[in-house]
Amino acid sequence: MDMSNKLLIIDGNSLMNRVFYALPPMNNSEGKHTNAVYGLSVILLKIIKDLKPNYIAAAFDKKAPTFRHIEYEEYKAGRKKMPDELSEQFPIAKELLRAFNVGIYEIEGYEADDIIGTMSSKFEQEGFEIYILTGDRDSLQLVSHFTKVLITKKGITDLEVYDIEAIIQKYGFEPDKIIDLKGLMGDTSDNIPGVPGIGEKTAMKLLSEFGTIENIYENIDKITAKKVKENLINNKEQAFLSKKLATINKNVPISFNLDEMNIEKCDYDKVIGIFEELDFKSLINKVPNVEDQNKDEVKKVELNFNIDELKLFLKDKDEIYFYYVKEEDILIFENGYAIRGNHLEEFKEVFEDKNIEKNTYDAKALYNRLRAYGINLKGLKNDLGIILYLLNPSDDFSSNNKVIANLLRINENELKNEHIPIFVSLMKQLIEEKLRLIKEYSLEKLLYEIEIPLIEVLASMEHYGFRINKEVLKDIGFKLSEEIDKLTSEIYDIAGEEFNINSPKQLGVILFEKLNLPVIRKTKTGYSTNAEVLEELRDKHEIVSKIIIYRQLVKLKTTYIDGLMNAVQADGKIHSNFNQMITATGRISSTDPNLQNIPIKLEQGREIRRAFEPENNNYVILTADYSQIELRLLAHISGDENLIESFKNGEDIHKRTASEVFNIPIDEVTAIQRSRAKAINFGIVYGLSDFGLAQDLKISRKEAKEYIENYFARYTGVRKYLDDVIKRAKENGYVKTIFNRIRFIPEINSSNRNIRMLGERLAMNTPIQGSAADIIKIAMVNVYRKLEELGLKSRIILQVHDELVLEVHKEEIEEVKKIVKFEMENCVELKVPLIVDIKWANNWYKAK
């Protein structure tokens, strides 16, 4: 089946209605109402760019009654009359659609949904890939392997994509059961009655059990809920009528002409003319043909590798724009000049001149390349990647090519070498455009005082790396293998037979069939034996705890011992990548390999840190760790007086919380009570529920709820902060750190409760975790600058969330300790003191 042809079908009335109420009133210079046409234009231009359909059609309702009105007189009764401000925009909308060569279809006696259903059914059979764009959920029943439904969410350009999997995930059944759902619960917007007393939840439950309305009535005696059963019996005819009214007719007597909907035949001049008449000047440059003309103009940029001409070009420049293409080892400047990596040294004076402002994308890659020649890049002004990241930290910045393709408005697979000079030629314009948004969101300080200076620090960390003692690592691996073998034998003995412990299927048979342990949950392939299930079974049989430990040790051996061994480079070091544009909270991440998640809960995991050593015997490893920084930030941000006082007095915060929550004197707090209070303290920061706390502490939900209530009764400022931050996030769609770092949280306004609860947890935690990330970044920049300024041999080599790891020359230990402690504890002024614990030793393990 040829799926190369994409057909977009627009639900005209639904979409116009949606955008009319989503946008504020708009009028052109002649006084015509234009907001609905504007919204339609924005969506259409975006979807043409993103989806790239070959054909577009639009279906509209006619004013005449449909077969549904004949079937049920009350159908859509009570609907408000369409406002004149909207109805007068329909002729303009249709004129615009015709200019785009969008086929317009409407027929008396049928609704737009029926035309859409007929069209999607017909063109599915002809091998088309169908997309239905609508403002409501009536079309969800049409979703198939070849048809997706795009529904406008909050705003007008944010679309929710529904395929079969998405519908199953939302409703628990396949698309063809949507009509049964409406038959049971009705649809107030269309005045479809349904069965009184049956809402969405009950309807979904019934359909999950019986599949269809027909099957429900065939098995009516199996329904145990008395009231539900009674309502179904008394309203049987109405249920079947409602299902019929909700069913889209796929056999409307109407013909379709592909030429009428071929987007390639768009009359661009006419579209632009309509936009000018409607005063949609901001949309003119987004018309595809205009975009293509603009692209043609910049495609004339060609690479020029003449070094003498480049030197002449750079002479007397006070700002330059360039991009280093790592894969090709080429540096490209804004006007097409380029140099290969082996000629970079000739421009050392330019790179190290701090008075020449450098603007680029992914400056860290160039920092590292220049270090090979002993060149220190100075004068970095802007990194477009960092700017884009600060404006939308949830975007994917893992691939430079993907971001560049998006900026050039092409697909990543269309990006070619010749596009890169185009990108560089547009860099100044792009940076200036995005900096306006940086200013609007008050992100200048975060950009220029934290993120841009941090690039050099991270490049330095990557350059120096962390030495690995391979013999120590081998020895740890050997001991782990012995433990794994011993555990394997013990598990076999308890099971009474040998089996593949790593096979969930075989393990499930042993646990649930041979040993008769209670089945917690099943998957499509059999019994679930995931970590959560094993944890629930831990106390049921001695074999379970051994399997849990076995899995942990196997992961340590394969992921960390073997993984780290393979990552050691020729110089005996691991040179991890430190990413500044990956996490939504602003935290630095480490990849290839990840040095931040080496397990420390197990002693065997902590042992791995023994293999991390200084470069030679003249150095030691120094660690500097913030003490309870997130709780201190919670005190600062919430302004809770009790929490602030505890930190100012230098109290053991977990003991103090235990004293408050359990209502006992602080000197009578037991180790268990302190441990529970610690779980509460850190859980509150992450929006922990009574259910989560009960699971963590292995107590009842009632006890957990009581603990949390006692906590909030004492720390009222924290409760108010959490409520306020959720409220602001719902209103604004984002939250901020104390340094104005933003994180958009679309989940917080989701109609799905689980997703919405996730959004609330993100809203509560992000300002705290993000502020902690900002603080350690400031500290890193300050420590790095101080070490450079004093010409010391010591350097930062790793950052793990709240901890800095340095390689310190033995002659500089006391001096560096003072620098690190001062800079980390004084990099920001809070309502509570920041405390840093510092240790040093001849390996990372001993320095903790």
525 or 342, which is more confident: 342
> Residue range 380-396: average pLDDT?
93
What's the residue count for the chain? 848
Assign a CATH topology to domain 299-465.
Answer: Nucleotidyltransferase; domain 5 (3.30.420)
Structure confidence at residue 150 (pLDDT)? 93
Q: What is the pLDDT of residues 455-464, one digit of tens each?
A: 999 999 999 9
106 — phi, psi (to 5°)? -155, 150
Q: Who contacts 196 (Cβ-Cβ below 8 Å, separation ≥6)?
A: 231, 235
Structure confidence at residue 300 (pLDDT)? 57
Structure confidence at residue 79 (pLDDT)? 67
| Predicted confidence band of residue 70 (pLDDT cuts 50, 70, 90) | low
Q: What's the rounded Cα separation, in Å, for the pair 563 and 553?
A: 14
625 — phi, psi (to 5°)? -120, 125
Q: What is the pLDDT of residues 325-351, one digit of tens each?
A: 999 999 999 888 999 999 999 999 999
Q: Is 342 helix (H, G, I), strand (E, B) or coil?
A: helix
Q: What's the rounded Cα separation, in Å, for the pair 3 and 54?
A: 11
Share of the chain above pLDDT 90, in %: 55
Structure confidence at residue 532 (pLDDT)? 87
Please tell me the least confidently modeled range out of 219-228, 320-329, 432-441, 717-726.
219-228
3-state helix, strand, coil in the chain (%, to 5): 55, 15, 30
For 334-487, strand residue ranges (E) read: 338-340, 357-360, 380-383, 466-468
Structure confidence at residue 383 (pLDDT)? 97
192 — phi, psi (to 5°)? -80, 120
At residue 187, does pLDDT exceed 90?
A: no
Q: What's the rounded Cα separation, in Å, for the pair 245 and 72?
A: 8
Strand-pairing partners, residue 804, are 624, 799
Q: Who contacts 758 (Cβ-Cβ below 8 Å, separation ≥6)?
A: 747
Instruction: Enter the DSSP assignment of 650.
Output: T
Residue ranges of the chain that CATH labels 3.40.50.1010: 6-261
Residue in the structure block whose two tokens are 């691939």: 399
Structure confidence at residue 209 (pLDDT)? 82
Residue ranges of the chain that CATH labels 3.30.420.10: 299-465
* Sign of the torsion formed by the C-alpha atoms of 34, 37, 43 and 47: negative
Structure confidence at residue 365 (pLDDT)? 95
> Residue range 821-835: average pLDDT?
97
| Predicted confidence band of residue 155 (pLDDT cuts 50, 70, 90) | low
Q: What is the pLDDT of residues 264-285, one digit of tens each?
A: 889 888 998 898 888 887 788 7
Structure confidence at residue 76 (pLDDT)? 67
Q: At the fourth CATH level, which superfamily is domain 6-261?
A: 5'-nuclease (3.40.50.1010)
Q: What's the rounded Cα separation, in Å, for the pair 722 and 712?
A: 10
596 — phi, psi (to 5°)? -90, -15
Pick the CATH number of 631-760 from 2.60.40.10, 1.20.58.1690, 1.10.150.20, 3.50.50.60: 1.10.150.20
> Residue range 220-243: average pLDDT?
84
> Residue range 749-769: average pLDDT?
88
Concatenated DSSP letters of 553-597: HHHIIIIIIIHHHHH--TTSEE--EEESSS-TT---EEESS--S-
Structure confidence at residue 291 (pLDDT)? 44
Q: What's the rounded Cα separation, in Å, for the pair 155 and 138?
A: 19
Residue ranges of the chain that CATH labels 1.20.1060.10: 468-574
Q: What's the rounded Cα separation, in Å, for the pair 282 and 761?
A: 38
> Residue range 579-596: average pLDDT?
94
Structure confidence at residue 340 (pLDDT)? 94
Share of the chain above pLDDT 70, in %: 96
Q: What's the rounded Cα separation, in Å, for the pair 730 and 678?
A: 29
Write the CATH number of the domain with boundaries 468-574: 1.20.1060.10
Q: How would you label 349-376 residue by residue, b for 16+ Cβ within 10 Å and e otherwise?
A: ebbebeebebbbbbbbbbbbbbbeeebe
Q: What is the pLDDT of residues 551-567, one digit of tens each?
A: 999 999 999 999 999 99
pLDDT, the chain, mean: 89
Q: What is the pLDDT of residues 232-258, one digit of tens each?
A: 888 888 888 888 888 888 888 999 999
pTM score, whole prediction: 0.67
Residue ranges of the chain that CATH labels 1.10.150.20: 631-760
**Other CB atoms closer than 10 Å to residue 85's CB: what's the count?**
15
Structure confidence at residue 154 (pLDDT)? 66
Q: What's the rounded Cα separation, in Å, for the pair 25 and 19?
A: 11
Give every strand in the sheet of 836-841, ordered side by side: 795-800, 803-809, 619-626, 836-841
Q: What is the pLDDT of residues 784-819, one digit of tens each?
A: 999 999 999 999 999 998 999 999 999 999 999 999
